[in-house]
Structure 1
Amino acid sequence: MTNYKEEQKDEIEALEAIYPNEIKVLETDPNYVFVIEVAPQGMEETDELAMVTIQFSLDDTYPDTIPVMEITESVYLDDAKLDEILEHMNTVAQENVGMVMVFTIVSAVQEKISDIIEQTKLQREEEQLRKQKEHEEKEQRIFEGTRVTVETFLAWKTKFDAEMKDFKKNDITLSSSKLTGKELFLQDSSMIVSDMQFLQGESEAVEVDESLFQEIDDFGLDEELQD
């Protein structure tokens, strides 16, 4: 008969030796409950160090049954990524029923987090390249100008013809509203009156004030002529 309690105790002791700083036993009776902080191994310092804290609860017949597993804490992982990790944990647990499996599950989670980090980095780099490419293409379009195609030319011509039609229509309207010199003259009665007054003034005698003039002798012009 399998002594599940003894087998569980041996596994806990092995886990404490492997993860001395990461494991914390919360309960031992009636069953073991413990948490392990799981972070990927071999990651660079510049990487976002995503990690999770997993709580394991063993029942009376573990390892012939899988433990109850729950992610109680996480860093740099959204809900979608956490769901992926939980699903992966359950798959690994099902594959190892009948054997002590916590170490195997923790190792699988470490690899999964590493894959997530690498995938996130790749997506970020691809996004940066995409934005850079869009920026370069935009600058190139500005440099080259708009390429003329049949569609763009026809659209431009339609707009141009409409503008020219409006321009000619407005020009005709302005031309028809302008008056000739004769029309302006006939409309302005003051011009007729002023011209008539000028013509009438020519027939009148011009009066001269003789006192305004002096004898030629006063200017000494005769003496100069004699010299």
Structure 2
Amino acid sequence: MTDYGKEQRNELEALESIYPNSCTVLSESPPSFTITVTLEAGENDETVQTTLKFTYSEKYPDETPLYEIFSKENLEDNGVSDILKLLALQKECGITAGNFN
């Protein structure tokens, strides 16, 4: 039998280790975290930043996590759309949150 809680805790620990400056655990029950991505973009070297929020379902990793754009800075609507399309594609492929890099 799968110990989903243990797998989820292990993955949260790994994500915090891999992304120490951009991953923040919001809750351990249900497991929820954010990852902030910052890029230098635009003609004026403006910074584009978005924070993605992931929440594990009860049976994650057998079920895909819920996700949303938690916050955005200087991100245009087409950028939001592109991110959501990429996340949906990853979800369809059954790739876990830890593999979004």
What is the DSSP-based 3-state SS (H/G/I as helix, E as strand, rest coil) of the residue aligned with 1:80? helix
Q: Larger Rg: 1 or 2?
A: 1
Q: TM-score, normalised by structure 1?
A: 0.41
What is the DSSP-based 3-state SS (H/G/I as helix, E as strand, rest coil) of the residue aligned with 1:39? strand
What is the DSSP-based 3-state SS (H/G/I as helix, E as strand, rest coil) of the residue aligned with 2:46? coil
Q: 1:103 to 1:47 in 2, by over 3 A?
A: farther
- The 2-side partners of 1:39 and 1:93 are apart by 22
Whether 2:59 is the aligned partner of 1:50: answer no
Residue matched to 1:60: 58
Residue matched to 1:10: 10
Deviation at 1:48, TM superposition (A): 2.6
Query: What amino acid is aligned across from residue 7 of structure 1 in structure 2?
Result: E
Aligned length: 99
Residue matched to 2:97: 102
Structure holding more strand per residue: 2
Deviation at 1:14, TM superposition (A): 0.5
Give the alignment's Cα RMSD to 1 decimal: 1.8
- The 2-side partners of 1:63 and 1:83 are apart by 25
Query: What amino acid is aligned across from residue 103 of structure 1 in structure 2?
Result: G
What is the DSSP-based 3-state SS (H/G/I as helix, E as strand, rest coil) of the residue aligned with 2:14? helix
Aligned-residue identity in percent: 33
What is the DSSP-based 3-state SS (H/G/I as helix, E as strand, rest coil) of the residue aligned with 2:9? helix
Matches within 5 A, 1:1-227: 1-29=1-29, 31-40=30-39, 47-97=45-95, 101-105=96-100, 107=101
What is the DSSP-based 3-state SS (H/G/I as helix, E as strand, rest coil) of the residue aligned with 2:92? helix
- Give the number of the structure with larger relative contact order, counting CA–CA contacts within 8 Å between residues 6 or more apart: 2
Q: Which runs of 4+ in 1 moved over 3 A?
A: none
Deviation at 1:95, TM superposition (A): 0.9
- The 2-side partners of 1:73 and 1:27 are apart by 17
Deviation at 1:23, TM superposition (A): 1.3
Point out where structure 2 has 5 or more consecutive residues left out of the alignment.
none
What is the DSSP-based 3-state SS (H/G/I as helix, E as strand, rest coil) of the residue aligned with 2:47? coil
Deviation at 1:96, TM superposition (A): 2.6
